[in-house]
Chains A and B, each alone.
Chain A
């Protein structure tokens, strides 16, 4: 039997002890003595959330397919166990071997959202690893970060030895081989990092420094090590049908946020919504072949016994083989008693037909994401969804038996007026009107329900709106009330429910998203005052953040409400995602002018992602040739 790191006494006192025992089906056990590299892969949030993350599952599978590596998992201990571990000096351990993380060669941390930054420090602290990278010795693990937030790593640059910029499939082998060679030669941490910074995609933050102008903006980035590259280009896996994919995903014992088989059908998105970071970061669009997806879907269902399968992509309706794939999956899943869930489908006749085959129409709801209430505003953000399309989709859905409709919007978009906000209520009302106009009285026994949700717009790096000012908390609260009043003034207001997102969380996310290295000490100080789990409203304490920023002389407004000049140097400018700053600036000007840019399949707008030599940029060119 495996020895557990925590005693029975502790495990029986805390919530959901199965979070900490490992041993799940398809988890990987190896003999620690027979591998060269021990890699701990961490999602800095609770197990129930972290276990669902596809990226980690892909890397876990890839690492463990290599004989010389054993990759294990680590998640943030929930506050109940956190307290016990601190009190009893129990070091943070990896789930598989239950060995302390401190003795591993690498600790990889995925950076999925800004609100997990204090949890990164919790992980390092509980593991007994110095929080600041330059304080670490040769005996400490190499701390490497990756994922969406590594596209502006500067606020957390102090805590990492390396950031891996881009997709993990391509360069880890080279990185680990470099590590092994350095170990064999007896080279220390710094010598290793000097070699690493020359591997494509690897950013070693300690070799750079930010300098500032008097107004607080960045004047220049200075290299502290001559051989370090000036820019770092993201890594991209160009053949997604011949690469690593976890065909034997882990099956957790406890119920997690998304307990299902995930089939990633493509990366990237053809639509250039100007607020969307993922849409730019993951360009160019690359599809997996239908044949490949069929075979891995089959394997994953058989190897897990999971009862649900879901498609993953930024916009599934844009996948070119969708119809063929779904025909196959519906038949296979029916035969095997597996449910299919279909997120991010555009509502049209095809998707409604598919959905009516896989779900109980009466119980499910349909989702539209117009993002803004008026066409003027939707043109500014380049959201190519018109009211006409929404109402047509809603009409077809009502005729098909659906009664619940969800609509997602953003408040605080640049150049927004109160009319745009009131447009949200009008649009919702028009959806309700469609129901009453088109559905005869005798079929209206179950009334229509419309749920409108707004979140607050947060400008993100590498988007056309990265120059835009973000709203203040006070503005957000006012706008939410404008929106609410707009809904209340509608004829069908009783059929419309309205939810809005917390303003404090949004503001802090805005600070961190476009932050620079001056935020490192803030995060460190907030953590040292006991703050963790900021992504959880029950543990989030914005006052602590405000106090610390105040005491350290950091002005949050500098990061949030300030409009950036066209030629401002951003903290993330040294990263190259393919999409050029020139293209984004042009898009920012198009936003100001309300000019729409076509999607990648209709017309190439020359964003720069063609530099990777594949994906949709080249598929289209070949067709034309």
Chain B
């Protein structure tokens, strides 16, 4: 059986890189007593897939992790380490119980939002990713003279948006406009929903630098405060739907 876990990554946890986050969850799940399935061999490891790596320094309201479990068994009476998310009398279902035991194993900044059961034949988290929503906070003293609200209006009104994308080997011009699904800006804060699929992933910094470029300004060196708000897949109709909603309650 496949479970889909939704968690947040805030505060100091934004400094934990992707591989370390994976290792953290492997250990947290082992401590929780959730009956995760393992690969075979001399160094067995728990079977889990993250939807998409999150860069160091970026926070998230909604990270997605799929795990395989052998059963719904969860030991009772795990010690509570951090602020309790639920009162014991609010726990009625196995799902709520699982959320509770895994929450107990989080360090400050990681929070388990939900755990859902995936249908038997669903795509894994990584293959399902279609889009992601981000909020980007720009440092106030750096936005300067450039009217970014106007930049966003330009982008939204145009059919194409060519940017230079640098890879390790080369630089190429690509049109990112079709991959920006939603973009708005006010008061130093940009919100966007962009392509996050493996073929067409767009980093939020790329959109911000395009906003400067379209206004004919240089992109200043600055540290953006980025939060990923949601990760989406596509439902049977092709519409964007939060990945967690592909799972059901149990």
Q: Which residue numbers of A lie inside 8 Å of B, CB to CB? A: 1-2, 4, 8-9, 11-12, 17-18, 21, 23-25, 251, 253-255, 302-307, 336-337, 339, 358-360, 363
* Residue pair A21, B42 in contact (C-beta under 8 Å): no
Q: A2-B108, A12-B223, A359-B42 are in contact. Are A305 and B16 (CB under 8 A)?
A: no
A4 and B56 in contact, given A9-B223, A302-B31, A305-B28 (Cβ under 8 angstroms): no
A25 and B12: CB pair below 8 A? no
Q: Once the chains are docked, how many angstroms separate the CA of A219 from the CA of B173?
A: 79
B122 to chain A, nearest CB (A): 25
A-B contact pairs, 21 of them (CB 8 A): A1-B10, A1-B12, A2-B11, A4-B12, A9-B223, A18-B17, A18-B20, A253-B20, A254-B16, A254-B17, A255-B19, A255-B23, A303-B31, A304-B27, A305-B29, A307-B26, A307-B27, A307-B43, A337-B44, A339-B43, A360-B42
Closest A residue to B38 using CB positions: A337
**B188 interface hit (Cβ, 8 Å):** no
Nearest A residue to B44, CB-CB: A337
Residues of A within 8 A of B27 (CB): 25, 251, 304-307
Flag whether B71 is at the interface (Cβ < 8 A).
Answer: no
Within 8 A of A (CB), among B10-40: 10-12, 15-17, 19-20, 23-24, 26-31, 38
B242 at the interface (CB under 8 A from A): no
Chain B, Cβ-Cβ closest to A9: B223
Instruction: Determine if B247 is an interface residue (Cβ-Cβ < 8 Å).
Output: no
Query: Could you say which residues of chain B place their CB within 8 Å of the CB of A11?
Result: 15
With contacts A23-B109, A302-B31, A306-B27 taken as known, whether A17 is within 8 angstroms of B42 at the C-beta atoms is: no
A12-B12 contact given A253-B20, A305-B29, CB 8 Å threshold: no
User: Of all chain B residues, which has the CB nearest A24?
Assistant: B107
**Chain A residues, Cβ within 8 Å of B19:** 255
Decide: A23 near B12, CB < 8 A? Known: A303-B31, A305-B31, A337-B44.
yes
| Assembled-state Cα–Cα distance A360/B28 (Å) | 27
Chain B residue numbers with a CB within 8 Å of A304 are: 27, 31
**B 29-66 to A, binary, CB cutoff 8 A, 1 in contact else 0:** 11100000010011111100000000011000000000
CA A337 – CA B15 in complex, angstroms?
A: 29
> Which B residues form the contact surface with A (CB < 8 A)?
10-12, 15-17, 19-20, 23-24, 26-31, 38, 41-46, 56-57, 105, 107-109, 223
Give the Cβ gap from B27 to chain A, nearest Cβ, in Å: 3
Q: Residue on B with the closest CB to A26?
A: B81
List the B side residues contacting A303 at CB < 8 Å. Answer: 31
Which residue on chain B has the smallest CB distance to residue A339?
A: B43
CB contact under 8 A between A12 and B57, given known A18-B15, A18-B16: yes
Contacts A12-B56, A307-B45 known; A25 to B107 CB distance under 8 Å?
Answer: yes
The 3 closest A-B pairs by CB, nearest first: A305-B27, A305-B30, A305-B31
Q: Do B31 and A2 touch (CB < 8 A)?
A: no
Partner of A255, one of B12, B20, B31, B109: B20
Cβ–Cβ < 8 Å partners of B46 in chain A: 337
Q: If A305-B29, A307-B26 touch, does A23 touch B108 (CB 8 Å cutoff)?
A: yes
Residue of A nearest to B19 (CB): A255
Complex formed: what's the CA distance from A9 to B27 in Å?
Answer: 29
Distance between B85 CB and nearest chain A CB, rounded to angstroms: 16
Contact B107 A23, beta carbon cutoff 8 Å:
yes
Give the CA-CA distance A17 to B27 in the complex, in Å.
21
For residue A10, give the distance in angstroms from its CB to the closest CB of chain B: 11
A98: nearest chain-B partner, CB-CB: B12
Chain A residues whose C-beta falls within 8 Å of the C-beta of B24 in the assembled complex: 253
In whole Å, how far is B111's beta carbon from the nearest beta carbon of chain A? 12
The reply to whether B23 and A17 form a contact with Cβ atoms under 8 Å apart is no
User: When chains A and B are docked, how far (Å) is the Cα of A9 from the Cα of B41?
Assistant: 43
Neighbouring A residues of B10 by C-beta, 8 Å: 1
Docked-complex contact B26 and A305, CB < 8 angstroms: yes
Contact partners of B23 in chain A: CB under 8 A: 253, 255
Per the bound structure, the CA–CA distance linking A306 and B26 in Å amounts to 9
Given contacts A255-B19, A307-B30, A339-B42, 8 further A-B contacts (CB under 8 A): A1-B11, A18-B16, A18-B20, A255-B20, A255-B23, A305-B31, A305-B105, A306-B27
Q: Are B20 and A25 in contact (CB under 8 A)?
A: no
CA distance A358 to B42 in the complex (A): 7
| Least CB separation from B30: chain A residue | A305
Query: Contact at B105–A25, with CB atoms within 8 Å?
Result: yes
Shortest beta-carbon distance, B9 to chain A, in Å? Answer: 12
Bound complex: CA A306 to CA B28 (Å): 9
- Taking a contact as CB atoms under 8 Å apart, the answer to whether B28 and A21 are in contact is no
Residue of A at shortest CB range from B24? A253
Of chain B, the residue at the smallest CB distance from A7 is B223
B43: chain A residues at CB < 8 Å are: 307, 339
**If A9-B223, A255-B23 touch, does A1 touch B107 (CB 8 Å cutoff)?**
no
Best-buried of A11, A21, A305, A358 by chain B (most CB within 10 Å): A305
**CA A470 to CA B17, docked complex, whole Å:** 46
| Distance between Cα atoms of A358 and B41 in the complex (Å) | 10
* Chain A residue at minimum C-beta to C-beta distance from B78: A302
Q: What separation, in Å, do the CA atoms of A303 and B56 have in the docked complex? A: 27
